[in-house]
Amino acid sequence: MKRIGVDLGGTNIAVGLVDEDGNIILKQSVPTLNHRVAEEILTDMADLVNSVIENSGVDKKDIKSVGIGTPGATNSDTGVVLYANNLGFKNVEMGKFIADRVGLPTYIDNDANCAALGEAQFGATKGVDSSVTITLGTGVGAGVIIDGKIFNGFNHVASELGHTVINFDGVQCNCGRKGCLEQYASATALIRQTKEAYAENPQSKLLDYAKVPGDINTVNARTAFDAMRAGDEVAKAVCEKYIEYIAIGLANVINALQPEVIALGGGVANEGENILAPIRAMIKNMTYGPNISEEDLPRTKLVKATLGNDAGIVGAAMLGD
Amino acid sequence: MKRIGVDLGGTNIAVGLVDEDGNIILKQSVPTLNHRVAEEILTDMADLVNSVIENSGVDKKDIKSVGIGTPGATNSDTGVVLYANNLGFKNVEMGKFIADRVGLPTYIDNDANCAALGEAQFGATKGVDSSVTITLGTGVGAGVIIDGKIFNGFNHVASELGHTVINFDGVQCNCGRKGCLEQYASATALIRQTKEAYAENPQSKLLDYAKVPGDINTVNARTAFDAMRAGDEVAKAVCEKYIEYIAIGLANVINALQPEVIALGGGVANEGENILAPIRAMIKNMTYGPNISEEDLPRTKLVKATLGNDAGIVGAAMLGD
């Protein structure tokens, strides 16, 4: 049966009708306008779901369920979003609200968890029981799959791997702690590191590769990598350090969870083997069992996430089994 | 049915006959003499298991199985110890060796995992599905229980939480990385921190509370806590910092795994609420969801492990179900 997947983001609400093979048959989106009260946002979401169903021409009785990936802390048992900072949500009964207006069983989970489930069912981590999908974006999102299912902890909010400390006297995180992985390995962090490197090395070619060349305010997550490719040594140092931060974080994940596969997503992961190969080499020396052969002790594989922005919709659609 | 649990340590091999309620009916031990080849150590282990069975007077057909907790990386499916540094073991077929000589089904797992299973079945974390038992000793041992079972990762060597980095430019760890939790939160680390504090503050009363007062070589994991209780300010600072390190490590575990209960074991945990209460207070501000009420989002409980040194035997006995 087909299913509906919803990706609720800070900017857009995206809804897709997904088939059994994880293909998105029809996708529509509307702006979230996240300053609004929850009821308005949820009403738009329900309307969009109903619109996608209607426009698809698929009979509602041939649609199994609606799944929603939402930012923040969710209770996937009750369908309540406990807290979502960038939406201003607190104790929002999202599941019930949508189910009432759509007339289909509705499930919710954290957006990073949905992305991990999408990759596990149809993407980079398909075919293995245990995997972790880590998305390097504004923050560091992570979803953990164990025995093919989202691992959520006893209270539904586990796998906040971006908020594990890797440098206890380090950069202040907006979660209140210092030195969280997110402050070193997110795209936001890379942009900060690039700007800092430029400030210390104004002779570097870094700014030539800002979105608007010469404008430091338009430095993005590609700037340092592009400048490195053009031979800039300062950029090279930024990229190498950034890659090391990612490796430190992933090695922690491996020593703790030993997933069969880790999929790396987000814009930075589009660097592909340029970034994955050196991370793999570093991880090899950082993870458990360096004295044991690969034959005796298989190691976690590191790959690029493959579903891109669709992972959230596809994974959300697969909730509730 | 009764079961045999074996705790293979660097110093002693301890074997216990364990009843269905987790009570050790009969316990015997012999020195490990860990410089010997594996076969000699394993022969002594098998002999001791047979001796405990014989001395107990229990018919072997009333004993369900033998379980062994061993240091190092193990493959719990094949019964092979892949690598155990302090025993010099590499690819030792422990399970098969003991099963052949005892004539009972034999299971093995990592010693920290066995301790966690023991606490989960009969100790501090009994009655909950998910828990983590962390032992602060020479190193930081950790076992993770999910859905009532040891969580091992896809390759059987997960939950090496002591070797997750909390300070990436920090103290060199013998695993090859810098800044592992073990280098800050183990009893060994506390002893190092105590000695360093004395070196910087020779006016402090720290050495008065060494095992041999005045002898820096006899500083142990109680020294700083005892000196703090006697009013020494330097000791107080050492203890507070040590407690903070533990809190940082536990907060990482919580944000990643959200277990229902964490049990803290090892000699340091005998400080009880002196150490647990301040750790709890710190963790509260370090873990996910500070803006959500306890009612809406239940939090991980932190307790003292209760089985002490017997956790390894009792947990090992419960392997193989």
**Residue B7 at interface with chain A, using a CB cutoff of 8 Å:** no
- ipTM of this complex: 0.96
Residues 203-262 of B with CB under 8 A from A: 245, 248, 251-253, 255-260
**Phi, psi values for residue A93, rounded to 5°:** -80, 70
Min CA distance, B141 vs chain A (Å)? 12
A290 pLDDT exceeds 80?
Answer: no
Q: State phi, psi for B152 to the nearest 5 degrees.
A: -120, -10
> Closest partner residue to A260 among B73, B154, B299, by Cβ?
B154
User: How many CB pairs below 8 Å do chains A and B form together?
Assistant: 156
Among candidates B152, B176, B292 on the partner chain, residue whose Cβ is nearest the Cβ of A73: B292
Distance from the Cα of A24 to chain B's closest Cα (Å) equals: 31
Reported confidence tier of residue A60, pLDDT bands at 50, 70, 90: very high
Q: Which residues contact B168 (CB under 8 A, 6 or more apart)?
A: A166, A167, A245, A248, B178, B179
Contact assignment for A159 to B256 by CB distance below 8 Å: yes
CA separation for the pair A138, A152 (Å, rounded) = 22
Query: What confidence tier does B273 reach under pLDDT thresholds 50, 70, 90?
Result: very high
pTM for this structure? 0.96
Nearest to A165 among B75, B85, B252 (CB): B252
Average pLDDT, chain A: 96
Nearest-CA residue of chain A relative to B181?
A: A166
In this complex, do A258 and B158 lie within 8 Å of one another by their Cβ atoms?
yes
pLDDT for B17 equals 98
Taking an 8 Å cut-off on Cβ atoms, the answer to whether B258 and A155 are in contact is yes
Q: How far apart are CA A306 and CA A189, in angstroms?
A: 23
The per-residue DSSP string of B212-250 comes to STT-GGG--TTHHHHHHHTT-HHHHHHHHHHHHHHHHHH
d(CA B225, CA B204): 13
Mean pLDDT of B244-249: 98
Cβ-Cβ contacts under 8 Å, A156 against chain B: 258
- Contact yes or no for A258 and B154 at CB 8 A: yes
In chain A, what residues touch B132 (CB-CB under 8 Å)?
A: none
Q: Which of residues 102-141 of A touch B (CB under 8 A)?
A: 128-130
* Share above pLDDT 90 across residues of chain B, in percent, rounded to a whole number: 95
Cβ–Cβ below 8 Å for B160 and A256: yes
Distance CA A298, CA B80 (A): 14
Nearest CA in chain B to A177: B286
Q: How many CB atoms lie within 10 A of CB A189?
A: 23
pLDDT grade for A321, boundaries at 50, 70 and 90: confident
Which of left, alpha, beta for A271 (phi over 0: left; psi -120 to 50: alpha)? alpha
| Residue B279 reports pLDDT greater than 90 | yes
Identify all chain B residues contacting A301, using CB atoms and an 8 Å cutoff: none
Indicate yes or no: CB of B258 within 8 angstroms of CB of A152.
yes
Tell me what percent of the residues of chain B surpass a pLDDT of 70: 100
> What is the nearest CA distance from B139 to chain A, expressed in angstroms?
15
Give the residue-averaged pLDDT of A136-145.
96
- CB contacts of B163 in chain A (<8 Å) are 255, 288
Q: With contacts defined as CB-CB under 8 Å, which chain B residues touch A153? A: 130, 257-259
> Which chain A residues touch B297 with a CB distance below 8 Å?
73, 82, 155, 157
User: Cβ A158–B251 below 8 Å, yes or no?
Assistant: no
- B164 and A258 within 8 Å at the Cβ level: the answer is no
Interval A265-274: pLDDT, tens: 999 999 999 9
* Residue range B144-166: mean pLDDT, rounded: 97
For B68-87, how does the pLDDT look when each residue is reduced to its tens digit (9 = 90+)?
999 999 999 999 999 998 89
B291 vs A157: CB contact, 8 Å cut-off?
A: no
pLDDT tops 90 at residue A85: no
The answer to whether residue A259 scores a pLDDT higher than 80 is yes
Q: How confident is the model at residue B321 (pLDDT cuts 50, 70, 90)?
A: confident
Burial B34-57 (b: 16+ CB within 10 A, else e): beeebeebbebbbebbbebbeebe
Set of chain B residues whose Cβ sits within 8 Å of the Cβ of A157: 258, 288-289, 297
Give the distance from CA A117 to its chain's centroid: 11
DSSP B298: -
The tokens describing B29, both together, are 């031990």
pLDDT given at position A248: 98
**Chain A residues inside the 8 Å CB shell of B157:** 258, 288-289, 297
Chain A CB contacts of B130 below 8 Å: 153-154
Question: Pairing relation of β-strands A131-136 and A140-146?
Answer: antiparallel
- Express the helix, strand and coil content of chain A in percent, nearest 5 each: 40, 25, 35
Terminal C-alpha separation, chain B: 12
Residues B319/B156, Cβ–Cβ less than 8 Å: no
The answer to whether the Cβ–Cβ distance between B288 and A73 falls below 8 Å is yes
pLDDT band at A222; cut points 50, 70, 90: very high
Residue A65: pLDDT above 90? yes
Could A257 and B157 be called an inter-chain contact, meaning their C-beta atoms sit closer than 8 Å?
Answer: no
Closest CB to A257: pick one of B153, B245, B288: B153
Mean pLDDT across A240-245? 98
* Distance, CA of A216 to CA of A206 (rounded, Å): 9
B 39-98 residues with CB below 8 A of A? 73, 75, 80, 82-83, 85, 90-91
Rounded-to-integer distance, Cα A89 and Cα A82, Å: 7
pLDDT at B21 over 80: yes
A290 in contact with B, Cβ within 8 Å: yes
- pLDDT for residue A288 is more than 90: no
pLDDT (tens digit per residue) in A158-211:
999 999 999 999 999 989 999 999 999 999 999 999 999 999 999 999 999 999
**Confidence label for A92 from pLDDT (cuts 50, 70 and 90):** very high
